[in-house]
Every structure is written in structure tokens, then in C-alpha cells.
């Protein structure tokens, strides 16, 4: 069984230790931005699953400066264990949806912090204009900049249902533009969206094998209170995964993923006060331990079913394509 420092998948922790020489922690930041899916540009209700916190319910207080947000979280984390390196993660809402002058100020403040070794920015692929791309390229020359894109699914029917607000072609253009500038791309996917079968989800994984991405987040669908999704769940319109179902699905996803893609997340955290279902996800460590055990028993690892020569997308065999970047 192939493993990455004892884990049967290419974990974020493994990648960070290889790159930075030690364990690295994230501090989650709030840049005080909104989203075109909330401010009326595309819609005013957000994606169907998104909380009022813009999926940044664990991020710091936007009333604080970026430096204050970073320092306050470092103080808490370093009190528990010796930590020297951090990733500044802009998490809440759409973190490139603001004037570029403002983005330059807050991103530069984060990247210049002496304890920060990289900056990760969560955003939408339709919020990456040329001026923003040039800014990100500049910052990437100082310290690594990673862009996290909320794709969720490749299926347009599901995208319309969740009110994603952009077609797949926009995502493809964003990835190409970022990689041409040497910026690493992390893709968010949601497992268990209403109407999607396991084969639909695996199609998303196989599609992403075909894109030049460096990381992925496998996020279990969380039903949060006071969302439109919660109302549909309470009306019994869809099923959420039980723990064993989800573990089996994650194993299938990992087996079909390119082993070079770094796994940044496999379950996700739903805020306890907001989480409606599934409640078993609150025991995250237990879930991960069960996953590791099950993969060991099944002799499973990331890429076990991956074809290194060809990838099939929508029934068509295509050679995998990359932008080759000089180091």
C-alpha cells in the first residue's frame, strides 16, 4: 500500500512538512468582503448551502486589522504547542471581490507578517479579473499564494440547483489564468449534493484529474440552520450520508484521484450551533481514524484506480494536460 508518511493519501500535512520542513498551521482571516451571489450582482440569497457567515464561520473578527487577526490566533495556537510557521487563510465570502487597491493592502499585510509562510485565498472563479490576477502574481513572488476555487461540482444541473452562478467554462478559464502565472490552485468540492449519485461525484473527481490543479478539498455536504438547503432537508427532499456511506465514498474518490493532488480536507467542520445534519461529523478525529483503518483493511490508497496515461471525462478518453512551470 502506497503511503505518505504513514497516511494512505497525499495529505496537506505531508506536503507542508516536505515544503517548509515542519508542521504548519492555518490562521483563518476575514477580509470583510461580500459575494456577488449576495449583494445583488448575481443574486441576494447566496448559494443554497451557504451560511450567513459566508462559509467563514471559523474566521476571525473582520473588525480587527489583518495583523491583529493573525496575532490573536497565533497567541492561542502557540500557547498549546510550539509553532513557528503559519498559512494566512482568507476564508469568509469571496476574497477577491473588492477593489484591487483594498486587496493589495490586506494581502500584503498578511504576506509580510514574519510568521506567515504562505497565503491561501478562497474565492469564486468569476471574481478574478486581470488586475486581480496581476496582483496575485506579484504577491506570489514574495511568498507562495494559493487560490481556493469553489467549484463544488462539474454538473450544470446541480450548479443551477445550488445557485453557483457561473458555468464550468469560467472555472476552466480561471484555472488556466492562475497556472499561467505560477499560482497554485486548490479546488473545493461538495460530496452529497442533492440529486447527485456516487457516479456523478466520481465524474467530478476524474474531471479534476484532467485539470492542472495542485490540491482539493472533499467537503461533506453540511446542512446548516437558516439556509435554503435546511428548509429542503426538513421537508424530506434529500438524503444526507450516514458515516459508513460517506467513508466508502471518500475511499472511492481517493482511489480515483491523481496521487500528485494534495488532499486539503476530507470531511470539513460544521459550526456546532448551526449544524443541522449530519451530526456525526462533529467527531472529526474519530471519523478520520475510521477512514485510515478502513483504507488499511481494504489495502486502499490515493490513486489506486487512477490511470496515469489517460483520463476519461464524460466518456471521452483524453490525454492529461498540464502547464509546465519552471521552478
pLDDT digits (tens, 9 = 90+) for 114-162: 999 999 999 999 999 999 999 999 999 999 999 999 999 999 999 999 9
Q: Is the pLDDT of residue 230 over 60?
A: yes
How does pLDDT run across 247-302, given as a tens digit for each residue? 999 999 999 999 999 999 998 777 788 899 999 988 889 999 999 999 999 999 99
Residues whose CB is less than 8 angstroms from the CB of residue 128 and which lie 6 or more positions away in sequence, other chains included: 96, 147, 174, 177, 178
pLDDT at 51 over 80: no
Q: Rounded distance, CA 195 to CA 161, Å?
A: 9
Torsion of CA 164, 168, 170, 173, to 10 degrees: 150
Give the mean model confidence (pLDDT) for residues 216-228.
Answer: 94
Integer Cα distance of 15 and 1 in angstroms: 19
- Pairwise CA distance, residues 52 & 211, whole Å: 31
State yes or no: pLDDT of 76 exceeds 90: yes
User: What are the φ and ψ backbone dihedral angles of 187, each rounded to 5 degrees?
Assistant: -110, 130
The answer to whether 128 and 177 have CB atoms below 8 angstroms apart is: yes
Instruction: Return the number of other C-beta atoms located less than 10 Å from residue 68's C-beta.
Output: 12
Question: How confident is the model over 60-82, as a mean pLDDT?
Answer: 90
Quote the DSSP letter at residue 4: B
pLDDT at 59 over 80: no
Which residue has 489583518 as its cell numbers? 66
Query: How is the chain split into domains, by residue range?
Result: 12-319
Q: What is the Cα gyration radius of the chain?
A: 19
Shortest CA distance to 205 belongs to which of 239, 244, 252?
252
Q: Is the pLDDT of residue 234 over 80?
A: yes
Measured between alpha carbons, how far is 220 from 107 in angstroms, rounded to an integer? 29
Local confidence band at 109 (pLDDT 50, 70, 90 cut-offs) = very high
Rounded CA separation 231/225 (Å): 8
Stated as kind and residue range, the H or E segment containing 250 is: helix 243-256
Average pLDDT over all residues of the chain = 90
Q: Is the confidence at residue 320, as pLDDT, over 70?
A: no
pLDDT for the residue 52: 66
Indicate if the pLDDT at residue 60 is higher than 90: no
Residue 106: per-residue pLDDT? 97
Entry pTM: 0.91
Least confident window among 68-82, 85-99, 207-221, 269-283: 269-283
pLDDT at 309: 60
CATH architecture of the domain covering 12-319: Alpha-Beta Horseshoe (3.80)
pLDDT of residue 325: 31
Asked whether residue 28 carries a pLDDT value surpassing 70, the answer given is yes
CA 284 to chain centre: 17
pLDDT reported for residue 93: 85
Least Cα distance to 145 among 214, 84, 207, 64 occurs for 214
Question: Which grid cell is 200?
Answer: 456523478
> Per-residue DSSP letters for 9-42?
S-BHHHHHHHHHSS--EEEEE------TTTSSSS
Predicted confidence band at 317 (pLDDT cuts at 50, 70, 90)? Answer: very low
Helix axes 168-180, 130-140, angle to 10 degrees: 40
pLDDT band, very low/low/confident/very high, at 304 (cuts 50, 70, 90): very high
Q: Which of 243, 43, 24, 29 is nearest to 148 (CA)?
A: 29
Amino acid at each position: 500500500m502506497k503511503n505518505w508518511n504513514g497516511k494512505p493519501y497525499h495529505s496537506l500535512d505531508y506536503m507542508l512538512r516536505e515544503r517548509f520542513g515542519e508542521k504548519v498551521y492555518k490562521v483563518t482571516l476575514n477580509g470583510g468582503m461580500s459575494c456577488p451571489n449576495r449583494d445583488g450582482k448575481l443574486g441576494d440569497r447566496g448559494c443554497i448551502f451557504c451560511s450567513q457567515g459566508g462559509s467563514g464561520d471559523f474566521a476571525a473578527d473582520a473588525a480587527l486589522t489583518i495583523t491583529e487577526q493573525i496575532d490573536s490566533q497565533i497567541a492561542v495556537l502557540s500557547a498549546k504547542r510550539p509553532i513557528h510557521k503559519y498559512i494566512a487563510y482568507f476564508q469568509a465570502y469571496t476574497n477577491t471581490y473588492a477593489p484591487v487597491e483594498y486587496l493589495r493592502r490586506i494581502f500584503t499585510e498578511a504576506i509580510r507578517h514574519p510568521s506567515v509562510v504562505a497565503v491561501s485565498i478562497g474565492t469564486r472563479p468569476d471574481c478574478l479579473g486581470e488586475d486581480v490576477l496581476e496582483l496575485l502574481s506579484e504577491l506570489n513572488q514574495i511568498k507562495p499564494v494559493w487560490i481556493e476555487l469553489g467549484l463544488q461540482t462539474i454538473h450544470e444541473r446541480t450548479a443551477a440547483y445550488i445557485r453557483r452562478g457561473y458555468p464550468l467554462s469560467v472555472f476552466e478559464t480561471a484555472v488556466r489564468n492562475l497556472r499561467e502565472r505560477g499560482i497554485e490552485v486548490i479546488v473545493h468540492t461538495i460530496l452529497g449534493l442533492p440529486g447527485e449519485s456516487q457516479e456523478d461525484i466520481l465524474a467530478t473527481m476524474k474531471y479534476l484529474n484532467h485539470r492542472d490543479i495542485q490540491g482539493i478539498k472533499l467537503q461533506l455536504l453540511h446542512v446548516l440552520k437558516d439556509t435554503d438547503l435546511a428548509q429542503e432537508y426538513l421537508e424530506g427532499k434529500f438524503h444526507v450520508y450516514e458515516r459508513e456511506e460517506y467513508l466508502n465514498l471518500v475511499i472511492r474518490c481517493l482511489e480515483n484521484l491523481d496521487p500528485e493532488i494534495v488532499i486539503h480536507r476530507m470531511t470539513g467542520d460544521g459550526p456546532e450551533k448551526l449544524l443541522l445534519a449530519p451530526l456525526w461529523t462533529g467527531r472529526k478525529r474519530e471519523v478520520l481514524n475510521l477512514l485510515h483503518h478502513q483504507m488499511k483493511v481494504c489495502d486502499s490508497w490515493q490513486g489506486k484506480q487512477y490511470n496515469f496515461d489517460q483520463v476519461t471525462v464524460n466518456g471521452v478518453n483524453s490525454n492529461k494536460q498540464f502547464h509546465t512551470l519552471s521552478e
